[in-house]
Amino acid sequence: MKLYTVNIADYVERVESSSRTLEVKCTRIVTSKKNRIFIERPWQELGTHDHYGEFVRILYVKDPPVKIARWVGSKRDILYYIDLCKVINWTPLEVSLMDLEVDFVISKPGILKLLDTGELVTSYRNGQISLEDLSQALFHLENLVNGFFDDFWTKLERLITPFEELMGGFE
């Protein structure tokens, strides 16, 4: 099982890629093997000391056992999107519904898990997140879902095209 090191503010917690209970305030994620940080832009853009208010989607792939994490962070009313899976090669066939993990927001008193849009709405009604945070979260969740299916369709087209060209030769 591949292990990942999750560095928290004042301690380090190790989690396996099969974990289904990840509730940590992440500042960075590295592989335990090569200690590489999978980020597409420097953390300075988000502010290394203020990650409070970030929305996170974590996705696990069963085979091979690697973790893909996508972060949507907000700081000073500016939203950033960081994709941590740039260097991981995977195919849509390796992803199943069981691989989908949790969404959560880092709040001042701790971590509030947001498992679905219903919980997002409840969190807004309870005053735990603002209307702007709610709308931005729903917008980005929609983008994540659309992005997944766009990626899936692109890869599917790549698989189908050679067969279409081959069959065209028999007409």
Q: How far is the C-alpha of 131 from the C-alpha of 63, rounded, in Å?
A: 38
| Three-state secondary structure of 105-129 | EEECCEEEEECCHHHHHHHHHCCCC
Task: Say what the pLDDT of residue 165 is.
Answer: 67
Is the pLDDT higher at 27 or at 139? Answer: 139
Q: Render pLDDT for 30-44 as a digit per residue (tens, 0 to 9).
A: 333 333 333 222 222
**Distant-in-sequence, close-in-space partners of 131: CB < 8 Å, separation ≥ 6:** 124
Q: How far is CA 49 from CA 18, 67, 142, in A?
A: 29, 24, 28
Q: How far is the C-alpha of 35 from the C-alpha of 46, rounded, in Å?
A: 21
Task: Say what the pLDDT of residue 104 is.
Answer: 34
Give the pTM: 0.28
Q: How far is the C-alpha of 112 from the C-alpha of 23, rounded, in Å?
A: 9
Tell me the pLDDT of the chain averaged across its residues: 45
Q: CA torsion sign, 119 to 121 to 127 to 130?
A: positive
- Asked whether 157 and 149 are in contact (CB, 8 A), the reply is no
- Identify the weakest region by mean pLDDT among 61-70, 99-108, 162-171: 99-108
